[in-house]
Structure 1
Amino acid sequence: MKFSKTLIAGLVMMVGVNTFAQKKAEKFEKLEIEMFPKAKDGYKQVYIQLPVAKNEKDLKVEYFVGKEKMVDCNNYFMMGSVKSQDLQGWGYNYYEVESNGETAGTLKGCLNKKETKKFIYIKPEIVGYNSKLPLVFYVPKDLEVRYRVLRPDAGMKKAVQK
């Protein structure tokens, strides 16, 4: 009797975990990045593969290129640029990052000298959402790329007239 209760509890738990895993599973298009050039010395190739989504034309992707640093209370940003390049003959594009990792920031007098770890990044960019194509980046080896998906509000709102 004790064995059957344990068996039933185990099966219920397995079904619950499996259902949760299926809900979390996202569908991805087959990824092909072989046509993109290899990274040059001192750089690495990174990519973002987006899952298939409903109404992709309504979605946007905001990407950030930077690195974590210990900083004080000032607002910091990373110096550098991200340039879109055309992959000749394919009609795709990729992004080349130019930055030596230097940062700049405001000059507030911080009363609390405590430093915290923050992700400091180059000015972010927003691009269209497309699950069929990866977003490919060539970044200096000490930098990373992060992103977030921007979704529209439920409805359009009207501006107030004065």
Structure 2
Amino acid sequence: MKFSKTLITGLILMIGVNAFAQKKAERFEKLQIEMFPKAKDGYKQVYIQLPIEKNENDLKVELFVGMEKMLDCNNYFLMGDMKNQDLQGWGYNYYEVESKGETAGTLMGCLDKKQTKKFVSLKPEIVRYNSKLPLVFYVPKDIEVRYRVLRPDNTMKKAVQK
């Protein structure tokens, strides 16, 4: 009797875990990236696969292309350029990043001369959310791509009239 309860409990747990795993797997549509060109020497190809969401038209993706560096108290940005390229014959686009990893920033006097690890990036770019297409990037080997999903505020606000 005790064995059969344990067996039934185990089976229920396995079914639950399996259902959860299938639900998790369904949130992503299998994307093809083979049609994109190979990365040139000194570069790597990275991509973002966004999960399927309800009301994707309400969402945006903020892209950050940069690197971590030891920096002082000034505000820095990565020097370089991110170009949106068209994948000929497919109607898809991808991003090519040109940067030597150099930074520029403010010239505040940092009294403590203390340096901390900071993520410094090119100017962030906002693109529409689309789980059906990958966001493909070609970046120098020492640069990474980060992102965050921007969701709308549920409350609509009204501008103030003067």
- Residue of structure 2 in register with 1:85 after alignment: 85
Instruction: Report the alpha carbon displacement of residue 18 of structure 1 after superposing the two structures with TM.
Output: 3.7
**Which structure 2 residues correspond to residues 6-155 of structure 1 after superposition, within 5 A?**
18=17, 25=24, 27-155=27-155
Give me the CA root mean square deviation: 2.7
Instruction: Report the alpha carbon displacement of residue 24 of structure 1 after superposing the two structures with TM.
Output: 8.8
Instruction: Report the alpha carbon displacement of residue 112 of structure 1 after superposing the two structures with TM.
Output: 1.7
Instruction: Report the alpha carbon displacement of residue 155 of structure 1 after superposing the two structures with TM.
Output: 2.7
Aligned counterparts of 1:23 and 1:67: Cα–Cα separation in 2: 35
Aligned counterparts of 2:37 and 2:22: Cα–Cα separation in 1: 36
Aligned counterparts of 2:23 and 2:52: Cα–Cα separation in 1: 13
Aligned length: 159
Q: Match of 2:88, as an amino acid? A: Q
TM-score, with length taken from structure 2: 0.87
Q: Match of 1:128, as an amino acid? A: R
Q: Match of 1:99, as an amino acid? A: S
Instruction: Report the alpha carbon displacement of residue 98 of structure 1 after superposing the two structures with TM.
Output: 0.8
Instruction: Report the alpha carbon displacement of residue 31 of structure 1 after superposing the two structures with TM.
Output: 1.3
Instruction: Report the alpha carbon displacement of residue 23 of structure 1 after superposing the two structures with TM.
Output: 10
Instruction: Report the alpha carbon displacement of residue 25 of structure 1 after superposing the two structures with TM.
Output: 2.7
Q: Match of 1:126, as an amino acid? A: I
Aligned with 2:57: secondary structure? helix
Q: Match of 2:79, as an amino acid? A: M
Instruction: Report the alpha carbon displacement of residue 157 of structure 1 after superposing the two structures with TM.
Output: 1.0
Q: Which runs of 5+ in 2 are unaligned?
A: none
Instruction: Report the alpha carbon displacement of residue 58 of structure 1 after superposing the two structures with TM.
Output: 0.6
Q: Percent identity among equivalent residues?
A: 75
Aligned counterparts of 1:129 and 1:23: Cα–Cα separation in 2: 23
Q: Match of 1:51, as an amino acid? A: P
TM-score, with length taken from structure 1: 0.87
